[in-house]
Amino acid sequence: MSKRAIITGITGQDGSYLAELLLSKGYDVVGVVRRSSSPNYWRIQNVLDRIRLRPADLLDQLSLIRLVDEEQPDELYNLAAMSFVPASWDQPMLTGEFNAQGVTRVLEAIRQVNPKIRLYQASSSEMFGKVREVPQTELTPFYPRSPYGVSKAFAHYITVNYRESYDLYAVSGMLFNHESPRRGLEFVTRKVTDAVARIKLGLADALSLGNLDTHRDWGYAADYVRAMWLMLQQPHADDFVVATGISHSVRDLVEVAFGHAGLDWRKYVGLDPRLIRPAEVEQLIGDSTKARSQLGWAPTVDFTGLVTMMVDADLERVAAAPRLVDRLSTL
- Using a 10 angstrom Cβ sphere, with 0-12 exposed, 13-18 middle and 19 or more buried, the burial of residue 92 is middle
Q: Kindly name the residue from 71, 108, 126, 179 that is annotated as catalytic.
A: 126
Binding test (CB under 6 A) with ligand NAP, winner from 177, 189, 244, 247: 177
Quote the least distance from Cβ 150 to ligand NAP, whole Å. Answer: 13
Asked if 83 interacts with ligand NAP (CB under 6 A), we say yes
Q: Is 124 a catalytic residue?
A: yes
28-33: strand order across its sheet: 52-55, 28-33, 4-8, 75-78, 118-124, 170-175, 240-242
Asked if 109 interacts with ligand NAP (CB under 6 A), we say no
Q: Is 148 a catalytic residue?
A: yes
- The SS3 call for residue 325 is helix
Peptide bond into 135 cis (omega under 30): yes
HEC assignment per residue over 239-275 = CEEECCCCCEEHHHHHHHHHHHCCCCHHHCEEECHHH
- Using a 10 angstrom Cβ sphere, with 0-12 exposed, 13-18 middle and 19 or more buried, the burial of residue 78 is buried
Choices 43-51, 97-105, 121-129, 241-249; region in contact with ligand G4F by CB under 6 A? 121-129
Asked if 188 interacts with ligand G4F (CB under 6 A), we say yes
- The SS3 call for residue 292 is helix
Asked if 277 interacts with ligand G4F (CB under 6 A), we say yes
Quote the least distance from Cβ 217 to ligand G4F, whole Å. Answer: 8
Residues 6+ apart with CB under 8 A from 49: none
Asked if 150 interacts with ligand NAP (CB under 6 A), we say no
Give the separation between CA 57 and CA 38, rounded to whole angstroms. 16
Q: Is 27 a catalytic residue?
A: no
Asked if 177 interacts with ligand G4F (CB under 6 A), we say yes
Q: Kindly name the residue from 77, 148, 162, 220 that is annotated as catalytic.
A: 148
Quote the least distance from Cβ 107 to ligand G4F, whole Å. Answer: 20
Asked if 78 interacts with ligand G4F (CB under 6 A), we say no
The DSSP call for residue 187 is S
Give the separation between CA 241 and CA 225, rounded to whole angstroms. 13
Quote the least distance from Cβ 69 to ligand G4F, whole Å. Answer: 30
Which string of x and - marks every residue 194-233 that binds ligand NAP (by CB under 6 A)? Answer: ----------------------------------------
Q: Contact positions toward ligand G4F, by CB under 6 A? A: 83, 85, 124-126, 176-177, 186-188, 191, 209-211, 214, 216, 250, 275, 277, 280-281, 284
Q: Contact positions toward ligand NAP, by CB under 6 A? A: 8-9, 11-15, 34, 36, 40, 57-59, 79-83, 98, 122, 124, 175, 177-178, 184
